[in-house]
């Protein structure tokens, strides 16, 4: 899947996967982490370009709290797929430590490591206090990225061993000022269609217009991240999205994202929950293979995506793998 697939005469950009190491109801987080490593091997066999993991803290339904550690385990279990983060949240870490971690990964798995960086802070005040981070740390994101890149380039006074001099592709998640930082520093942009495809296209155009070429990325590079579910029927695909969407609903009401429940265990929502559920599902791409192919092609064309980073977690791992298998077939 390193090139372009063709669906109905329309090209699709390369496809990659973002996984959050979701915990299923009744499952231990340790089992969820092992599931993610197994899933990465399966995704590699399907031919996807990258497999990234995310960073979340204090979330009962997500075991992915240490993305570089998890990426190391995935690297050991795979051989060809690119591995990385989507992303490491710089407000929670010192740039030197992040450089050292990615330098270690890139030394162990040369030519396979991506460095995705974000600026989000902890979901709750208690998590932010535990991380010794607050919202003002996110405001230093641009300076932190510059410092981190300096360790890789060898321009900082302290040598970042073993990162110094290594070629590690850098991506910036477009939260807050992330898109501006990516454009100014000449880095790739990872962006989600929040607010709809039109708003997304406007933000991408602004990034491309402000982009300053760098040695890392001589041209702007846009990775569009979106939730995608494929099944034999549209209703079946929507059902795949329900467990994660329901956990999002509970997080808005209870302040905690719980482990994923089976669709049959999700109660009939009340009016308030229904509104939140509709919000959670809005903009997520789901349907049969033909419907998803058309939707992804339209999104890619409207935005000018260089890559698509797809994500979808559900309670049934076999059904989740089937969805990704159908998705891989679209670009085969």
Structural domain for 76, as ranges: 8-225+288-311
Q: Does 145 fall in a domain?
A: yes
Q: Does 250 fall in a domain?
A: no
C-alpha angle 223-65-251 in degrees, rounded to nearest 5: 85
Orientation angle between helical segments 234-254 and 271-281, nearest 10 degrees: 120
Helix (H) or strand (E) holding 114: strand 113-118
User: CA 275 to CA 74: how far, in whole Å?
Assistant: 37
Q: Does 324 fall in a domain?
A: no
| CATH code, 119 | 3.20.20.30
What is the C-alpha R_g of the chain? 19
Pairing of strands 50-53, 88-89: unpaired
Nearest Cα neighbor of 96 from 136, 22, 152, 38 is 152
Q: Does 321 fall in a domain?
A: no
The answer to whether the beta carbons of residues 41 and 51 sit under 8 Å apart is no
The domain tally of the chain equals 1
User: CA 165 to CA 175: how far, in whole Å?
Assistant: 28
Q: Does 242 fall in a domain?
A: no
| pLDDT by 10s per residue, the chain, length 332 | 343 343 333 478 999 999 999 999 999 999 999 999 999 999 999 999 999 999 999 899 999 999 999 999 999 999 999 999 999 999 999 999 999 999 999 999 999 999 999 998 777 778 888 888 776 666 789 999 999 999 999 999 999 999 999 999 999 999 777 899 999 999 999 999 887 888 899 999 999 999 999 999 999 999 999 999 999 999 999 999 999 999 999 999 998 899 999 999 999 999 999 999 999 999 899 999 999 999 999 999 999 999 999 999 999 999 999 999 999 998 77
Q: Does 85 fall in a domain?
A: yes
What pLDDT score was predicted for residue 175?
Answer: 78
Q: Does 263 fall in a domain?
A: no
Q: Does 267 fall in a domain?
A: no
Number of helices followed by number of strands (H, E) in the chain? 12, 12
What pLDDT score was predicted for residue 131?
Answer: 84
């Amino acid at each position: 899947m390193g090139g372009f697939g063709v669906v109905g005469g329309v090209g699709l950009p390369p496809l990659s996967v973002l996984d959050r190491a979701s915990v299923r109801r009744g499952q231990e987080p340790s089992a969820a982490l092992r599931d993610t490593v197994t899933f990465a091997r399966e995704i590699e066999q399907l031919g996807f370009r990258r497999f990234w993991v995310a960073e979340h803290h204090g979330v009962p339904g997500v075991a992915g709290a240490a993305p570089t550690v998890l990426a190391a385990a995935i690297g050991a279990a795979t051989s060809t797929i690119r591995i990385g983060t989507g992303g490491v949240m710089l407000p929670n870490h010192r740039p030197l430590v992040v450089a050292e971690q990615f330098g270690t990964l890139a030394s162990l798995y040369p030519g396979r490591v991506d460095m995705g960086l974000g600026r989000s802070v902890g979901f709750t005040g208690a998590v932010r206090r535990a991380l010794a981070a607050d919202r003002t740390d996110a405001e230093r994101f641009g300076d932190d990225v510059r410092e981190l890149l300096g360790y890789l380039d060898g321009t900082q006074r302290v040598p970042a061993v073993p990162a110094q001099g290594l070629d590690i592709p850098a991506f910036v998640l477009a939260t807050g000022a992330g898109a501006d930082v990516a454009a100014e520093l000449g880095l790739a942009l990872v962006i989600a269609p929040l607010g709809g495809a039109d708003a997304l296209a406007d933000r991408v155009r602004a990034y491309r217009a402000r982009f300053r070429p760098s040695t890392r990325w001589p041209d702007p590079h846009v990775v569009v991240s979106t939730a995608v579910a494929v099944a034999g029927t549209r209703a079946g695909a929507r059902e795949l999205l329900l467990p994660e969407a329901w956990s999002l609903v509970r997080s808005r009401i209870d302040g905690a994202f719980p482990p994923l429940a089976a669709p049959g265990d999700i109660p009939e929502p009340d009016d308030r929950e229904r509104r939140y559920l509709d919000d959670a599902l809005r903009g997520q791409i789901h349907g049969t293979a033909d419907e998803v192919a058309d939707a992804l092609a339209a999104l890619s064309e409207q935005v000018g995506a260089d890559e698509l980073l797809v994500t979808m977690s559900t309670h049934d791992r076999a059904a989740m793998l089937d969805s990704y298998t159908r998705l891989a077939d679209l670009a085969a």
